[in-house]
Structures are given as C-alpha cells and as structure tokens.
Amino acid sequence: GGMWYGYRKLQSFAGGDGPATMVIGASVDRVFASLADGDSIPDWMAVSGDVRPSRHGSLRRGDTLRVTSRESSGTQRMGMTWIVAEVTPSKQLGLQMRDDSLGVVAARRTYTLETRGDSTVILATVTSPMIDSIRTARRDSTAGGAVLGFASKLMLSALRMQSRVELMQLKARIEARTP
C-alpha cells in the first residue's frame, strides 16, 4: 500500500504519462544553446551529482554525458551515461541512456522546442525501449507481468520527474541572465 501511495505521488509530481513541459522566457535559439551545450549542461542537468560531457561546446551526435553521484562517505558511485542520439538545431535534442552491462538502450529522452510568441516551450519526452522489449518478449499477464508493469511505470515516472526538475533548473539558468 505504501509503495502504491508513493508511486501515485511521484506520478502526480512527474506530470502523469505525458511529456514534462516548461515555458521559458527566451528565444528558441537561446534555449537550445543552453540545452545542447556541453559547457552549460552541468549547470542544469542531474539533480545531484556530477555531469561530465565528452567535449566542450555544442553537442553532436555520438557525444556522451557521464552522470555520477557521490555517497555520503565521498566515494563515487556508479552513474549513467547519456549518449547524444539526435541534434536538430533549435528544434530537438535526443539522448539515449545505455545500460553498460547489457549494451541496450534503457531509456530515451527527447527535448522538443517550439516558439510561442517571444518565449520557448520545451517538452521532455521519456520512453524506455528496454522495458517495451521485455514486455513484448514476455507477452503474459501473470504476476511477473504485473510487477514488470509497476516497475516500468515507477522508472518512467522517476525519469519524468527528473526531467521536470531539470527543465525548472534550465529555466532558472536562462531567465536569470535575461536583462
């Protein structure tokens, strides 16, 4: 019961099943420049931990973003690696989180930008090809299927929540420098 309640709270904060959406008071070019620049990503990405892009400047397809966190003892914990899958300037940035041990794409995050007046609307869509492929391979409705369904919803809700928090940090970063 407690897990279900926690999941429902997480899902309501994460914004349900749709993309995380944020309106930022800046041009689409300016928002994309902050979103897809290796030097600015550590300022808004990852709620806790360090983000190390593979190189400085504008992201290109194949670049990586290594996210690590530290334990209270100061020891570095295992992190995750986001790989830049798509870059369409001022329109879209696609990232893939690969599982290092299995070599599969565990999650995808796509940022889509749209102009609305003098502001930019940014949508962060999260999907999990790994969960989808496991679900397709199992094709059953047993208790294991129910557990997988719950686990996948929990994981996607957590990733959506993280996307929402990161969009809030990106908004704060961009709008703080607006004259």
Read off the pLDDT of each residue in 79-94 and give the average, rounded to a whole number.
93
> What mean pLDDT value characterizes the chain?
80
* Residue 179: predicted pLDDT: 47
- How far is 15 from 121, CA to CA, in rounded Å? 16
What pairs with residue 113 in β-bridges? 122
Count of alpha carbons within 13 angstroms of residue 92, beta-carbon side:
10
Beta pairing, strands 64-68 & 50-53? antiparallel
Q: How many helices (H) and strands (E) does the chain have?
A: 5, 7
* Residue 49: predicted pLDDT: 74
Read off the pLDDT of each residue in 91-117 and give the average, rounded to a whole number.
88
Q: Please identify which residue in the block is written with the tokens 């208790």.
A: 143
Read off the pLDDT of each residue in 93-101 and give the average, rounded to a whole number.
84
Residue 142 has pLDDT above 60, yes or no: no
Residue 90 has pLDDT above 80, yes or no: yes
Q: Which distant-in-sequence residues (6+ apart) come within 8 Å of 73 by Cβ?
A: none
- How far is 145 from 140, CA to CA, in rounded Å? 6
Among 85-89, 148-152, 162-166, the range with the most confident prediction by mean pLDDT is: 85-89
User: Which of 28, 45, 23 lies closest to 95 in space, CA to CA?
Assistant: 45
Q: Which of 3-12, 50-59, 118-127, 144-153 has the lowest mean pLDDT?
A: 3-12
Under 8 Å between Cβ of 50 and 42: yes
Task: Give percent of the chain with pLDDT exceeding 70.
Answer: 66
Residue 53 has pLDDT above 80, yes or no: yes
pTM of the model: 0.77
- How far is 135 from 94, CA to CA, in rounded Å? 23
